[in-house]
Amino acid sequence: MFKAGIKTGRNIALVGVFCPFLWYAILSGASRNFILLNLIHSGIIVGLGLLVLGFNYLALYAYTKSPKRG
């Protein structure tokens, strides 16, 4: 359950890193402001992915360290 959440967070972060809009803007020579806009947007997506990943990692850690229920 939590492992799937960790993978989901990782995938969301990777979408932010490999965002086609960002890379197209960089490689096509778009204006500095447009690239900055895409960088901010991609950074937000990466941050959201890391937040989901971290939350699920901590939940999994707490679940595995809790005493076993009968």
Residue 15 lies in a domain: yes
Residue 37 lies in a domain: yes
Q: What total number of domains does the chain contain? A: 1
**pLDDT tops 90 at residue 55:** yes
Residue 70 lies in a domain: no
Amino acid at 49: G
pLDDT for 57 = 96
Angle at 52 between CA 2 and CA 20, to 5 degrees: 120
Show the domain range for 22.
2-64
Residue 34 lies in a domain: yes
| Nearest by Cα to 36 from 14, 21, 18, 51 | 21
Residue 39 lies in a domain: yes
pLDDT digits (tens, 9 = 90+) for 13-23: 999 999 999 99
pLDDT bracket for residue 67 (50, 70, 90) = confident
